[in-house]
Amino acid sequence: MTIIVHHLNQSRSHRILWLLEELEVAYEIKEYKRNGETMMAPPELKMVHPLGKSPVLENTETNEIIAESGAIVEVPPPHQPTTPIAQCDIHTCLLSLLRKRGFS
Ligand SMILES: N[C@@H](CCC(=O)N[C@@H](CS)C(=O)NCC(=O)O)C(=O)O
């Protein structure tokens, strides 16, 4: 089984990399670079996400593709956190990131 994170630089996709690292799940990164002038994602990302957004998680064994960082965290098919602590840590992390960006 291979997990691929379709990762855009300077994006919330970092949360998913953090998640997989914390869970010690092996994964590969497919990198996409933002356009230096517009800061938009490159068109190639639309091959995996209709709106060209990141993060996207792909399971090459099941051919499942999940978009939306919240959904990836809530329903990570091959690497479901098995302990409530793992789930709690993930949400704490997301919450603190949102707070840093001015959301309450
Ligand atoms: N609600 C989505 C938002 C996805 C999203 O907007 N991603 C941004 C990066 S944080 C993106 O791909 N932007 C590139 C673009 O719009 O061209 C999620 O949480 O995954």
Q: What is the pTM of this model?
A: 0.78
Q: What is the CATH number of the domain that holds 64?
A: 3.40.30.10
Mean pLDDT over 18-47 rounds to: 93
Determine the pLDDT at residue 61: 84
Q: pLDDT category, 101, cuts 50, 70, 90?
A: low
Distance in Å, CA 67 to ligand 1 centroid: 9
Give the total number of structural domains in the chain: 1
Strands 28-32 and 3-8: parallel
Please, are residues 49 and 67 in contact by the beta-carbon 8 Å criterion? yes
Strands 64-67 and 28-32: unpaired
Say if ligand 1 is within 6 A of residue 59 CB.
no
Say if ligand 1 is within 6 A of residue 78 CB.
no
Residue 14 domain boundaries = 3-100
Largest CA distance in the chain: 43
Cα 32 versus chain centre, distance: 13
Determine the pLDDT at residue 103: 58
